Amino acid sequence: MIPFNKPYITGKEVHHIYGAVATGHISGNGKYTKLCQSYFEERWGFKKTLLTTSCTDALEMCALLLDIQPSDEVIMPSYTFVSTALAFVRQGAVIRFVDSRKDHPGIDEEQIEALITPRTKAIVPVHYAGVACDMGKIMQIANKYNIYVVEDAAQAVDSYYLPDKGSKQEPQALGSIGHLGCFSFHETKNIQCGEGGLLAINDERFIKRAEILWEKGTNRAEFFRGEVNKYGWVDIGSSFLPGEITAAFLWAQLEEVDKIQTRRKSIWSQYHSLLQNWASKQGVKLSHLPEYATQNAHMFYLVCPNIEFRTALIDHLKQNSIHSVFHYLSLHSSPYYQPKHDGRQLPLSDRYSNGLLRLPLYYELTEAEAICKAITDFKP
């Protein structure tokens, strides 16, 4: 069976884990944590970054930093992983779900402004498949109404938002545009450490408190930098930082990020090239790339005409020893949140829930041509 995902191991992970152990400091915020954070800040332009135990934790830190209170409203797409909403729901927020775009599973930017009320505290765009939302439009809306923007960039490491043609502005790394950004290093991601995440802080107002939340509500980080002569409990917080063994594993991945990205993009391009003709004949949509976005080859997906077509295709691929998978179920119609939803229909989100199919994509995949052959042999 060709698996859907296979975590890539560079071969340097054990070496760096040994290095972490040899330092005598494996509890977190040591040598490898600092190496990883500095790399993200220098390469992708984040003002400050903090490694976290998961992207979920990074999102929960955002909810705390924005001081989300009961009855505050947060706008986000329905077609996303539960963690995007859960971080804010735990603080008592009301989620205002937005439908997806017709050409892409990401949030429909044109529907955001109509949902803004005096209680709206934040907009949370999700860069699905590592493809940018229209951040220019979203930031314009946020600035107009003085609303925070948290980028859920869980899938979007090393992907960019492109300026308008003719603009002198440089491409902006996803996660660096909103006030805060969140990344995942789960084993299914391009760069992984099993479980891990990162909070990117782009608004300097949040840096000091973010470190305190990260260090269990203490000013411990300031103490170790020699900025205070003792540390204590100064705020709420939790144990959000990962240990050095996790950071060491991640550092091995970051050392090979360009190699990993080049290989994944090659596989993505191969899929796109070999499936175009078949898709157009079958009424299937391939992964779409808006003109303002790059893609990081996090995933390659098909959007099937209906759930029956997708189910049959999954079964056909399984019979050919290929593991393909669907993705999210719309959060607005989930068992937990449907009773709380405002009743609006979100047909495009449901369309992706019923039609989207993800193909295997990982560094060591060599069977892309055979997978495409199996797909083009499929007779619905």
114-133 mean pLDDT? 98
228-256 mean pLDDT? 93
What do you get for the CA distance between the two ends of the chain, in Å?
22
Residue 195 scores a pLDDT above 80: yes
Instruction: Please give the share of the chain, as a percent, with pLDDT higher than 70.
Output: 99
User: Cα angle at 328 between 323 and 329, to 5 degrees?
Assistant: 120
Q: In angstroms, rounded to a whole number, what is the distance separating the alpha carbons of residues 280 and 261? A: 28
Residue 223 scores a pLDDT above 90: no
- Per-residue pLDDT reduced to its tens digit, 266-302: 999 999 999 999 999 999 999 999 999 999 999 999 9
The pLDDT of residue 163: 84
User: Cα angle at 62 between 60 and 66, to 5 degrees?
Assistant: 125
Q: Which helix (DSSP H) or strand (DSSP E) does residue 94 occupy?
A: strand 94-98
Bridge-based pairing of strands 73-77 and 94-98 is parallel
Residue 166 banded pLDDT, cuts 50, 70, 90: low
Q: In angstroms, rounded to a whole number, what is the distance separating the alpha carbons of residues 223 and 287? A: 48
> Could you tell me how many residues make up the chain?
380
CB count in 10 Å sphere of residue 183: 28
DSSP state of 241: P
CA 195 to centroid of chain Cα atoms:
13
306 Cβ contact list (under 8 Å, min separation 6): 354, 355
**Residue 260 token pair:** 């990993």
Residue 219 banded pLDDT, cuts 50, 70, 90: confident
Q: Tell me the one-letter amino acid at 235.
A: D
Residue 338 scores a pLDDT above 80: yes
Q: Domains in the chain, ordered, with CATH? A: 13-254 (3.40.640.10), 257-376 (3.90.1150.10)
Residue 239, CA distances (Å) to 61, 128, 183, 349 in order? 11, 28, 17, 34
The pLDDT of residue 295: 94
Contact 136, 122 (CB under 8 A): no
The pLDDT of residue 323: 98
Residue 168 banded pLDDT, cuts 50, 70, 90: confident
What is the full DSSP assignment across 45-91? --SEEEEES-HHHHHHHHHHHTT--TT-EEEEESSS-HHHHHHHHTT
Residue 230 scores a pLDDT above 80: no
Residue 164 banded pLDDT, cuts 50, 70, 90: confident
